[in-house]
A and B are shown apart, each in its own frame.
Chain A
Amino acid sequence: MRVIVGVKRVVDFAIKARVKADKTGVVTEGVKHSMNPFDEIALEQGIRLKESGAVKEVIAVSCGPTACQETLRTALAMGADRAIHVPVEGAAYETLQPLAVAKIFKKLAEDNQANLVLFGKQAIDDDANQTAQLTSALLNWPQGAFAAKLSVEGGSKVKVVREIDGGLETIELNLPAVVSADLRLAEPRYASLANIMKAKKKPLDKKTPEELGVDIKPRIKTLSVEEPPVRKAGIKVENVDGLLQKLRTEAGVTF
């Protein structure tokens, strides 16, 4: 069994995002980046499947500028067997959208005869939460989105437990399938220093969107990116009556 895991390079979760002056996006230059946390979880799950013997090979894939290779090296250090970098630079990268990425993964899944494609449920930069679902649709494979548990059943099925409102939903998917990872699927490991060094020797291939025959032109146009409005300072009321008064007159609440 072969697993492909999508690992996106995103602005680190600890960084406070700042909107660019021209309002086309957020500042990414000179800002710390790391692997999308949900992708880390998906990757960890893939590696665990491999360690349990259910999976033979884990391939990490990242689409974006050259720096994505650092993310892929981290994936290799965590335990992926090989990596594929799909270079998308500059303006093309700024407008790279879930549909294009899903098309890339569709092609890679077919070319590499993958049985399972794993994603994080969303990337913490654009929060689109679409790539796994779109990939599933394009491949016409079953999907298990927001997986909190994942196990391989026999050689032909996976069981996915999803956290839904009010409880857990367990579903069974026929392989090949697409699964996206939720927060509690698996706690990602730290790559050991030794494995980081070893990762330098693992194969990292490049496949351009042209080579894959994928059209990555954007379908959505971003009009403007704005800072969230600054919260106005509150006021202190003297007592409950004062509060009711304000609620009535200023907040327009009727009792």
Chain B
Amino acid sequence: MLRAAMTGAARSLARNAASVQPARTFTIAAVASAGSSSSAAAAHDDEEGGSFARGLFSGRIRESQVFPFPAATILNEEAKSTLQMLVDPCAKFFETVNDPAKNDETASISKEAWDGLKEMGAFGLQVPEELGGLGLTNTGYARLVEIVGMHDLGVGIALGAHQSIGFKGITLFGTKEQKAKYLPKLAAGENIAAFALTEPSSGSDANSIRSRAKLSADGKHWVLNGSKIWISNGGIAEIFTVFAQTQVPDRKTGELKDKVTAFIVERSFGGLTNGKPENKMGIKCSNTAEVYFDDVKIPVENVLGQVGEGFKVAMAILNNGRFGMGAALSGTMKAMLAKSAEHAINRTQFGSKIKEFGMIKEKFAQMALKIYATESMAYTLAANMDRGSNDYQIEAAISKVFASEAAWSVADEALQVMGGIGFMKAAGFERVVRDLRIFRIFEGANEILRMFIALTGIQDAGKDLKEVQAALKSPISNFGVLSQEATKRIKRIVGVGHDTIKGVHPLLRGPAGLVESQATAFGAAVDSLLITHGRKIIDQQLKLKRVADAAIDLYASVAVLSRATHALNSGAATADQEVLLATTFCEDAHRRIRRNIASLNGKTTDGSYARIADSIFEKGSYDISHPIGF
């Protein structure tokens, strides 16, 4: 029976497995293997313990990074009470000293606020205490940037560009000497840091940068030339993490090839200048500037990581920094919700408070669902990173995409609830809307991250398939040595059994069942994409987008289930509300996932979309005859 069932789908799967290779032309997809892939992951990240999102692509539910809710246990009592003590003064600072409207208007951070931030220790939140920082964990950092996000995203970016990406490379890859030399002044805010990757001709395609560093004749310096664009803190930073092409001998042939290398560059080296601050739509108080390098002499000891490994360094920094965005934006959303809820409760129209109207209620429910999911993912991610997991890059990308889009829609709807007042500057909504827009663009544009989520997952699923293929050639002799992963995969392919979520509270069994069935359907859909398209799947962007969207919804669903389970098990005061939020989220997500999966195989208008777009690009405009003829 089993054998017979295996013939159809399984055999064609196996046939195609060999042709599914990592897409080399798409650099972002290569990040998965260049960065911290599953093979490099901590012991904890084994088959069963690995990334939940990664497992999904093989139709698996790997619970250990999601259940029990990691954020609930990551802080011991002492860490918790210390963090609690930090929350109040941080909030008070933003309530009383910093003025976001003024920062926005003057496109600068007031001196009082800047000095206050320094004094508070806000520039070195995660720098080890012995190097002058606060030594916070990722969870601790997340909790504090949530407060920043509640009040002033411009300040958030100034602080984030400094420590979340600016000098993160030094903390992740720096030598002992580099850390000792740079971190104390950076932590004190005496020196500001920036992360300089983007160039005029190289944005999302970061591997294509043209800045170049050449080794000096005496081998003591790298001489850097080139320019960077839109560098946050570019005009005020002293320490730059800079990425440039370098000639590196190929390991096998010895032939020289261009490879990216990361450098720590001090403004004081000379030859580094910057353009004037960009005039931006939002996060105005955060400095953004071009940075130019003219024969900048960098001592060889200032290479960050290994020569030629710069792309890996850049991606690791960005991956590592993403959790903070989810936390900060959940703060932003909570602030927006609170302000608009006050209005909804008090504003009367047609003789009723507007909170009584169904369409207003729907908006607040949507806001709460989005906040709940954003928080759940951000803190799960931070906690997993704190536990030493290295296998989190898909989750980090999911969290970034979800948070940035959730915040955009929450701010938009909160403004809508306010009516005309929301459109007035004084109400403070339009600033937040402007500030939020950048989050979908930088630190990996959401389109790129969707490709990354889908391709990284699919690439992994493709690898698994090779093992399945080998086993299928002579099933009897090989089944015994198959990994658990591959065995389950085969079972699922032949339709016997799917994974269940074991850690979920009985009250949440219903929504958990929805997630389980969609996880299985998702795995099958990924397999079927591999069968149909093989490596050419990379060209099917709209299919990849649906895969990514389904993965995002699945991960978010599981994160909220885990959090609500924890609320129930710990007798949290808000447990009932959390069950409602989690259940509703899963039900909504279930419908979206089903639609996305269905349109992977079914009829779509994708082809028509491409033709419509192509006809536009031919003319460069909407060149359709006018309704009245002219």
Say whether B119 contacts A192, CB under 8 Å: yes
Least Cβ–Cβ distance between A189 and chain B, in angstroms = 9
Say whether B121 contacts A191, CB under 8 Å: no
Residues of chain B contacted by A73 (CB below 8 angstroms): 81, 85
Q: Is B46 an interface residue (CB 8 A)?
A: no
Complex Cα gap A200–B135 (Å): 12
Q: Which residue of B lies closest to A67 (CB)?
A: B81
Say whether A193 contacts B129, CB under 8 Å: no
Q: Is B388 an interface residue (CB 8 A)?
A: no
Selected from A34, A192, A197, the residue in CB contact (under 8 A) with B129 is A197
Complex Cα gap A86–B277 (Å): 56
Complex Cα gap A225–B86 (Å): 35
Q: Which residue of A lies closest to B85 (CB)?
A: A196
Say whether A197 contacts B134, CB under 8 Å: yes
- In the complex, identify which listed stretch (B2-10, B89-97, B537-545) lies at the interface while the others stay far away: B89-97
Residues of chain A contacted by B144 (CB below 8 angstroms): 193
| Chain A interface helix/strand/loop/mixed | helix
Say whether B120 contacts A77, CB under 8 Å: no
Q: Is B201 an interface residue (CB 8 A)?
A: no
Residues of chain A contacted by B122 (CB below 8 angstroms): 193
Q: Is A131 an interface residue (CB 8 A)?
A: no
Q: Is B82 an interface residue (CB 8 A)?
A: yes
Say whether B119 contacts A74, CB under 8 Å: no
Complex Cα gap A193–B119 (Å): 8
Q: Is A190 an interface residue (CB 8 A)?
A: yes
Complex Cα gap A89–B90 (Å): 31
Say whether B81 contacts A193, CB under 8 Å: no
Residues of chain B contacted by A34 (CB below 8 angstroms): 88
Selected from B86, B92, B573, the residue in CB contact (under 8 A) with A196 is B86
Q: Is A70 an interface residue (CB 8 A)?
A: yes
Q: Which residues of B (81-132) have their CB < 8 Å from a CB of A?
A: 81-82, 84-86, 88-90, 92-93, 119-122, 125, 129
Least Cβ–Cβ distance between A37 and chain B, in angstroms = 13
Say whether A193 contacts B92, CB under 8 Å: no
Contact A193/B90 with A70-B81, A70-B85, A74-B85 known, Cβ cut-off 8 Å: yes
Say whether A194 contacts B85, CB under 8 Å: no
Q: Which residue of B lies closest to A74 (CB)?
A: B85
Complex Cα gap A250–B85 (Å): 54
Complex Cα gap A194–B134 (Å): 6
Complex Cα gap A34–B92 (Å): 14
Say whether B89 contacts A192, CB under 8 Å: yes
Say whether A190 contacts B92, CB under 8 Å: yes
B70-85 CB contact bits vs A (8 Å, 1 = yes)?
A: 0000000010011011
Least Cβ–Cβ distance between B567 and chain A, in angstroms = 15
Least Cβ–Cβ distance between A185 and chain B, in angstroms = 20
Least Cβ–Cβ distance between A124 and chain B, in angstroms = 17
Q: Which residue of A lies closest to B121 (CB)?
A: A194
Complex Cα gap A128–B147 (Å): 36
Selected from A74, A192, A200, the residue in CB contact (under 8 A) with B120 is A192
A177-202 CB contact bits vs B (8 Å, 1 = yes)?
A: 00000000000001111111100100
Q: Which residues of A (144-201) have their CB < 8 Å from a CB of B?
A: 190-197, 200
Selected from B78, B84, B86, B573, the residue in CB contact (under 8 A) with A193 is B86
Contact A194/B120 with A70-B81, A74-B85 known, Cβ cut-off 8 Å: yes
Interchain Cβ contacts within 8 Å, total number: 43
Contact A192/B85 with A197-B129, A197-B134, A197-B135 known, Cβ cut-off 8 Å: no
Residues of chain B contacted by A192 (CB below 8 angstroms): 89, 119-121
Q: Which residues of B (133-168) have their CB < 8 Å from a CB of A?
A: 134-135, 144
Q: Which residues of A (192-243) have their CB < 8 Å from a CB of B?
A: 192-197, 200
| Chain B interface helix/strand/loop/mixed | helix
Least Cβ–Cβ distance between A161 and chain B, in angstroms = 27
Q: Which residue of B lies closest to A191 (CB)?
A: B89
Residues of chain B contacted by A30 (CB below 8 angstroms): 573
Least Cβ–Cβ distance between A191 and chain B, in angstroms = 5
Q: Which residue of A lies closest to B93 (CB)?
A: A190
Q: Which residue of A lies closest to B144 (CB)?
A: A193
Complex Cα gap A77–B82 (Å): 11
A68-81 CB contact bits vs B (8 Å, 1 = yes)?
A: 00100110010000
Q: Which residues of B (260-275) have their CB < 8 Å from a CB of A?
A: none
Complex Cα gap A90–B499 (Å): 49
Contact A193/B120 with A70-B85, A73-B85, A74-B85 known, Cβ cut-off 8 Å: yes
Contact A197/B82 with A192-B119, A192-B120, A192-B121 known, Cβ cut-off 8 Å: yes
Selected from A70, A74, A190, A193, the residue in CB contact (under 8 A) with B134 is A193
Residues of chain B contacted by A74 (CB below 8 angstroms): 85
Say whether B82 contacts A200, CB under 8 Å: yes
Complex Cα gap A200–B89 (Å): 16
Complex Cα gap A212–B89 (Å): 34
Residues of chain B contacted by A190 (CB below 8 angstroms): 89, 92-93, 120
Residues of chain B contacted by A195 (CB below 8 angstroms): 121
Give the most central of A34, A70, A73, A196: most B CB within 10 Å. Answer: A196
Complex Cα gap A196–B85 (Å): 7
Least Cβ–Cβ distance between B34 and chain A, in angstroms = 35
Residues of chain A contacted by B78 (CB below 8 angstroms): 200
Q: Which residue of A lies closest to B132 (CB)?
A: A194
Least Cβ–Cβ distance between B96 and chain A, in angstroms = 9
Complex Cα gap A70–B78 (Å): 10
Complex Cα gap A114–B330 (Å): 49
Q: Which residues of B (215-259) have their CB < 8 Å from a CB of A?
A: none
Complex Cα gap A212–B85 (Å): 30
Q: Which residue of A lies closest to B78 (CB)?
A: A200
Complex Cα gap A197–B125 (Å): 11
Q: Which residues of A (17-36) have their CB < 8 Å from a CB of B?
A: 30, 34
Least Cβ–Cβ distance between A152 and chain B, in angstroms = 27
Residues of chain B contacted by A70 (CB below 8 angstroms): 81, 84-85
Residues of chain B contacted by A194 (CB below 8 angstroms): 120-121, 134
Q: Which residue of B lies closest to A195 (CB)?
A: B121
Contact A77/B92 with A193-B121, A194-B134, A197-B129 known, Cβ cut-off 8 Å: no
Least Cβ–Cβ distance between B616 and chain A, in angstroms = 52
Residues of chain B contacted by A196 (CB below 8 angstroms): 82, 85-86, 89
Least Cβ–Cβ distance between A202 and chain B, in angstroms = 13
Least Cβ–Cβ distance between B334 and chain A, in angstroms = 18
A-B CB contact pairs (8 Å), 17 listed: A30-B573, A34-B88, A70-B84, A190-B89, A190-B92, A190-B93, A192-B121, A193-B89, A193-B90, A193-B122, A193-B144, A194-B121, A196-B89, A197-B82, A197-B129, A197-B135, A200-B78
**Sample of 14 more A-B contacts, CB < 8 Å, known A191-B85, A194-B120, A194-B134:** A34-B88, A70-B85, A73-B85, A74-B85, A190-B120, A191-B89, A192-B119, A192-B121, A193-B89, A196-B85, A197-B121, A197-B134, A197-B135, A200-B82
Residues on A lying within 8 angstroms of B by beta carbon are 30, 34, 70, 73-74, 77, 190-197, 200
Top 6 A-B pairs, shortest CB-CB distance: A194-B121, A193-B121, A190-B89, A192-B120, A193-B120, A196-B85
